[in-house]
Amino acid sequence: AQSVTQLDSQVPVFEEAPVELRCNYSSSVSVYLFWYVQYPNQGLQLLLKYLSGSTLVKGINGFEAEFNKSQTSFHLRKPSVHISDTAEYFCAVSFTGNQFYFGTGTSLTVIP
Amino acid sequence: DAGVIQSPRHEVTEMGQEVTLRCKPISGHNSLFWYRQTMMRGLELLIYFNNNVPIDDSGMPEDRFSAKMPNASFSTLKIQPSEPRDSAVYFCASSSTGRNEQFFGPGTRLTVL
């Protein structure tokens, strides 16, 4: 069975500070990994995805994530956050590329 | 590309009424997913279709919920009768085989009084 754990439900961070949102997964087979962002009153939008190859994945809006197979993690990072990054962030896994399993989400609040 | 289209965007109804949510997937996509999002339970997969056929409906909460996909460009999620605990945001998403990404619609915010 697959599961996704987002360890932090809420992350407050000051503007221009770095941030890391944590995601761990459990799976007995190879997986595809994703981060989605949800702005208030909107649907989910893909930030980045890991399918294979380089373990460091770069996405939109300056975000990046690193796949660590030994630690079964896929943490999301940004070196300097903006007010506009305030949103809900979801980690997801899939082993078929079709059906996704989402984490419970992390609410990122950027403080001016 | 218009993206995934959902209607209505907001629905307010009274307990016991029938509610129908609609989704138009991105043209050419062959998989469609219905999710429900609440504060308490987060994002839950209700059902997904592949080539218009329901593949996994294990997430449908009970018999009051039903979903159909009569053709590749349209799907409905129906709740009959509705209850206050059904209040949530319902998302539709679509994808295509080999694309490894789901595209989400803007959601329907359902309030059952």
Closest chain A residue to B6 measured between Cα atoms?
Answer: A43
Query: Residue range B21-44: average pLDDT?
Result: 93
Which A residues 72-91 touch B at CB under 8 Å?
Answer: 90
What percent of chain A is predicted at pLDDT more than 70?
A: 97
Instruction: Tell me the pLDDT band of B40, cut-offs 50, 70 and 90.
Output: confident
Question: DSSP code of B86?
Answer: G
> CB contacts < 8 Å between A and B, how many?
51
Taking an 8 Å cut-off on Cβ atoms, the answer to whether B106 and A34 are in contact is no
Query: Residue range B88-94: average pLDDT?
Result: 96
B4 in contact with chain A, both atoms CB, cutoff 8 A: yes
Q: Is the peptide bond before B25 cis (omega within 30 degrees of 0)?
A: no
Taking an 8 Å cut-off on Cβ atoms, the answer to whether A49 and B100 are in contact is yes
Let me know: does B89 contact A105? Beta carbons within 8 Å. no
A95 in contact with chain B, both atoms CB, cutoff 8 A: no
Is the CA virtual torsion A19, B40, A32, A61 positive or negative?
negative
Closest chain A residue to B59 measured between Cα atoms?
Answer: A101
- pLDDT given for residue B2 in this prediction: 80
Of B93, B100, B105, the CB nearest to A97: B100
Spell B88-103 as b/e; 16+ CB within 10 A means b.
bbbbbbbbbeebbbbb
Whether the predicted pLDDT of B99 surpasses 80: no
Taking an 8 Å cut-off on Cβ atoms, the answer to whether B104 and A100 are in contact is no
Taking an 8 Å cut-off on Cβ atoms, the answer to whether B91 and A45 are in contact is no
- pLDDT given for residue A48 in this prediction: 95
Dist. CA B100–CA A26, nearest whole Å: 19
